[in-house]
Amino acid sequence: MKKSPMDIQETWDSEKGEDNINPPILKLEKNQEDGRRNSDHNMSTTLLSKQSDLILPSKGLLQLFLTNLREVILGTKLVVLFPAIPLAILAHSYNLGRAWVFALSLLGLTPLAERVSFLTEQIAYYTGPTVGGLLNATCGNATELIIALLALRQKKIHVVKYSLLGSILSNLLLVLGSSLLCGGLANLKKEQRYDRKQADVSSSMLMLGLLCHMLPLMFAYGEKPSLYTLSVGATLQLSRACSIVMLLAYVAYLFFQLKTHRQLFEAQEEDEDDLGNEEKAVVGFWSAFTWLVGMTAIIALLSEYVVGTIEAASDSWGISVNFISIILLPIVGNAAEHAGSIIFAFKNKLDISLGVAMGSATQISMFVVPLCVIVAWIMHIPMDLDFSLLETGCLAFAILVTAFTLQDGTSHYMKGVALLLCYVTMGACFFVLRNPITNKTSDSLGVK
């Protein structure tokens, strides 16, 4: 569903009081010669009446701010989790238990992650589909990216690796699995079809990413122990080369998705339109931008807390850091996508659910992970792509099982059950993998 010029017009109108600088690009392309004011001429009366429904009689700055606040803050059902943000900051400044800071920050991140993608979509309405797609492609997993970069700054390489790995696993198995399960149960009698081409593109991207993780791993295992020290440098070089390849692949993927084969991903676009509330573009460009910056700052703050207190939380809860990074962090980070994906599966719009889950996994695997390696390179931190054996094995298995599941273009709930139970099994595996082993991995990963 393309956005119609009318909708954009409407939003633009509601924006008029604030600033008139950035007219929507789509509009601009069509009426390049018209003055900005004149382009309103085709506004119909229905649109006018619709606008009067909004509670915007006087367009004062404060009023606008309040409306925006209402749209941005109250626009999500996760609003109940917002109080966790000030609580986390309070808990941090009054030196309450570090596990509490961790838990509250994690809760606070959930609605923020959802709102950031909401704001990105809002901005995308003004910038046109291509730039919007690019924005979504880079900021869609902003929370994961910020957490990873902050963990990198604190040289907790294992947290970086495991949280990103966990995010891929959670998207592929948990989000996709529960969507297929719910969709299958809700549409038992109907046929559930989707276009497998889109999923196939993501699968092949994920396979490429998997290769880039497996080669450094096999480097370490294929060498004789005496040569192991020699291979560390080579592993690092290989990882950096692989990261560049992955980024190139991601650029090609974006080109494919946004330019040449957009029709394959059309359904996904539609999804984003629907996700962004009923009205299109409910907040203006600059206010959305300001909100985005502000939220990013809060996310950074909370991520800092999360990364700083993860070991303390692990100790006080008796759960390994591995489990927290691989299972808990991604569930929180993906909560909003998860909910959206399930809702669309209920409506038997599996294309959208697939787009959300597979797209997000591809983005993390092919963009966030190599970006972290490159940033680490710039910061002279020896982060490589060698996740350890168990983690890489789980990744490989998740990708394989998802690719197989999506082979024929139909779905039923049993597919969801299989994926979900795979996730449960992996969760159980990381749960029983207790501290002695955790120390080992954090040693080997942190030091080398």
Separation of alpha carbons 77 and 75, rounded Å: 7
Among 117, 413, 442, 445, binds a second copy (CB under 8 A): 413
- For position 211 contacting a second copy by CB under 8 A, the verdict is no
Ordered DSSP codes for 275-314 = HS-SSS--S-HHHHHHHHHHHHHHHHHHHHHHHHHHHHHH
Nearer to a second copy, 207 or 433 (CB): 433
Residue 371 to residues 131, 149, 210, Cα–Cα distance (Å):
20, 9, 16
Task: Tell me 334's DSSP state.
Answer: T
Contact set for a second copy, span 375-394 (CB under 8 A):
388-390, 393-394
Min CB(239)–a second copy separation in Å: 19
Contacts of a second copy in 340-369 (CB under 8 A): none
Residue 142 sits in the site that holds a second copy (CB under 8 A)? no
* Residue 207 near a second copy by CB under 8 A: no
- Residues 307 and 145: their CA atoms lie apart, in Å, by 13
Q: Could you say whether residue 315 binds a second copy (CB under 8 A)?
A: no
Nearer Cβ to a second copy, position 75 or 393?
393
Pick one of 205, 267, 282, 426: the residue that binds a second copy (CB under 8 A). Answer: 426
| 235 lies in the binding site for a second copy (CB under 8 A) | no
Task: Reduce the DSSP state of residue 364 to 3 states and report it.
Answer: helix
Q: Of residues 28, 78, 131, 417, which one binds a second copy by CB under 8 A? A: 417
Burial of 259 (0-12, 13-18, 19+ CB in 10 A): exposed
Which residue, among 280, 302, 282, has the nearest Cα to 291 in the 3D structure?
A: 282
Question: In angstroms, what is the minimal distance from the CB of 205 to a second copy?
Answer: 20
Cα–Cα nearest to 3, from 25, 36, 22, 19: 25
Q: How many CB atoms lie within 10 A of CB 225?
A: 6
Token readout for 130 is 């291509």
65, 408, 409, 446: which one contacts a second copy (CB under 8 A)? 408
Q: Does 428 bind a second copy (CB under 8 A)?
A: yes
By CB atoms closer than 10 A (0-12, 13-18, 19+), residue 256 is: middle
Smallest gap, in angstroms, from Cβ of residue 424 to a second copy? 6
Quote the Cα angle for 138-139-142, to 5°: 120
**Does residue number 229 form part of the binding site for a second copy (CB under 8 A)?**
no
Q: Residue 438 Cβ, how far from a second copy at the closest point, in Å?
A: 11
Out of 44, 52, 237, 425, the only residue in the binding site for a second copy (CB under 8 A) is 425
In the bound state with a second copy, the residue whose beta carbon lies nearer, of 239 and 405, is: 405
Residue 30, SS3? Answer: helix
Q: Does 232 bind a second copy (CB under 8 A)?
A: no
- Give the one residue of 61, 188, 378, 447 binding a second copy; rule: CB under 8 A: 188
Query: Taking Cα atoms as reference points, which of 78, 115, 128 lies closest to residue 269?
Result: 128
The CB-of-398 to a second copy minimum distance in angstroms stands at: 9
List the one residue out of 326, 330, 354, 361 whose CA is nearest residue 340.
Answer: 354
Least separation in angstroms between residue 444's CB and a second copy is 9
Applying CB under 8 A, does 78 fall inside the site for a second copy?
no
Residues that bind a second copy (CB under 8 A): 188, 388-390, 393-394, 397, 400-401, 404-405, 407-408, 410, 412-415, 417-418, 421-422, 424-426, 428-429, 432-434, 436-437, 440
